[in-house]
Amino acid sequence: MRIHAFVLAAAVAMLAGADAAEARTCPGGRSGGSATWMSIGHPGLGEWYLKGWGDFWDHAPQKKFWLGFIPIYGWPGYLQVKSARDANRCRTNDNLRWNE
């Protein structure tokens, strides 16, 4: 249960750091803030939204989405925060490493 609280606190802290005046508009006119919240809901959804939804196999980040079902690693966990961070920065890659 502590892990859940930590992940939630980390996500809230990351989002609190984003200034409302700096609302990010990503290419395609989509909101980085909306994409961030979708990625908090499930890893990969924010990036899929940024790519314009469309066909699941072509637009959704397959690694993040499917590995997001693994407890602690996916949701809630590392991939949830990684996906939210990427979506907040308008990145749509499927790389699982933190520094990229």
> pLDDT digit string (tens) for 29-80?
888 899 999 999 999 899 999 988 888 888 888 888 898 898 888 878 888 9
Q: Which strand (E) or helix (H) includes residue 36?
A: helix 32-41
Distance (Å, rounded) from C-alpha 43 to C-alpha 38? 8
| Residues in the chain, total | 100
Domain positions in the chain: 25-88
- Whole-prediction pTM: 0.71
Instruction: Compute the distance between CA of residue 23 and CA of residue 4 in angstroms, rounded to an integer.
Output: 27
Residue 76: both structure tokens together: 């809630």
